[in-house]
Amino acid sequence: MNINWYPGHMTKSIRQIESALKLIDFVVYIVDSRAPYSCHNPSFDALFKGMPIIYVLNKVDLGDSKTAKIWLQSKCSDITMSVSLDSRESNQAKILSTCAKQICKTKIDKFKQKGITISLRGMVVGLPNVGKSTLINNLAGSKKTKTGDMPGVTLGQQWVKIDDYLDVLDTPGTLYPKLSDRDCAIKLALIGCIKDHITDSVELGLELVDRLQKMDNTYLKEKYGCNFDVEPIINLNQIALKRGFLLKGGQVDLERAAVAVVDDFRKGRLGRISLDVV
């Protein structure tokens, strides 16, 4: 399966991110804990070079803790910090205000010497559907931005005032221009960063089952009675039978089974899983 999805508006979004750089003091770079390394967008590397960055490992409730720990450690430096969050949990994002003050301390102190208290401005970036707008609403303590369980919900930039000392800019999700790494593209599709109609649901389901088999996923065994010594297609068949997904004429409905198992994974019903193997 080749996933080649880079809608025109994303080029525009990257350009808008580039021009907003002069307005901001720091970047909040969000990734999904189920594939934190694959959420790294190479087109941001040059753009944010030398800028204070707060890396947020979001959806921490869904990914595995070992991958989370290793990734979080890898993102700490003199001018970068990392935190993990479940952005749906109230007040969790408050920690970001503290991080922002810490990471912009030099600038704050410089103005303080002149007797000026500055307001900081941050820009929230990341792939589609990683939880950027949810995190901003959490930080603001009310629903200031539109959110949704699909990629491409935020269509334009939006400034949100958090308090007298902090404003943040929500941005539309941006993919990288070349999803030439097939494995990475599949992981992004599985975590919901790519619109489902771009991919073939049965192929995507088989890719997931294959990965879960290699991880020896307990839930697949217990919930669906899968056997890991066989090809993924046999297990997808088994899932369809177990769920009673049959077509007219009695054949198994593989498409429905594939959609169901991907949905199980996305909702965390198969356990806390990270697709990036570390």
Ligand X SMILES: Nc1nc2c(ncn2[C@@H]2O[C@H](COP(=O)(O)OP(=O)(O)OP(=O)(O)O)[C@@H](O)[C@H]2O)c(=O)[nH]1
Contact footprint for Mg ion (CB under 5 A):
132-133, 153-154
User: How many Cβ atoms sit within 10 Å of the Cβ of residue 100?
Assistant: 25
- Cβ at position 148, least distance to ligand X in Å: 5
Please choose which of ligand X, Mg ion, none residue 274 contacts, taking the beta carbon within 5 to 8 angstroms, the exact cut-off set by kind.
Answer: none
Vertex 274: Cα angle to 51 and 36 (nearest 5): 10
Name the token pair of 206. 């088989």
Alpha carbons 121 and 101: distance in angstroms, whole number:
11
Name the token pair of 159. 């400034």
Please choose which of Mg ion, ligand X, none residue 59 contacts, taking the beta carbon within 5 to 8 angstroms, the exact cut-off set by kind.
Answer: ligand X
Alpha carbons 258 and 253: distance in angstroms, whole number:
9
Residue nearest to Mg ion (CB): 154
Please choose which of ligand X, Mg ion, none residue 210 contacts, taking the beta carbon within 5 to 8 angstroms, the exact cut-off set by kind.
Answer: none
- Cβ at position 150, least distance to ligand X in Å: 7
Q: Which of 127, 118, 255 is nearest to 184 (CA)?
A: 127
Residues at the interface with ligand X (CB under 6 A): 58-59, 61-62, 85-88, 126, 128-134, 147-149, 151-154, 172-173
Nearer to Mg ion among residue 138 and residue 217 (C-beta):
138
Nearer to ligand X among residue 48 and residue 245 (C-beta):
48
Please give the DSSP secondary-structure letter assigned to residue 117: P
Nearer to Mg ion among residue 151 and residue 232 (C-beta):
151
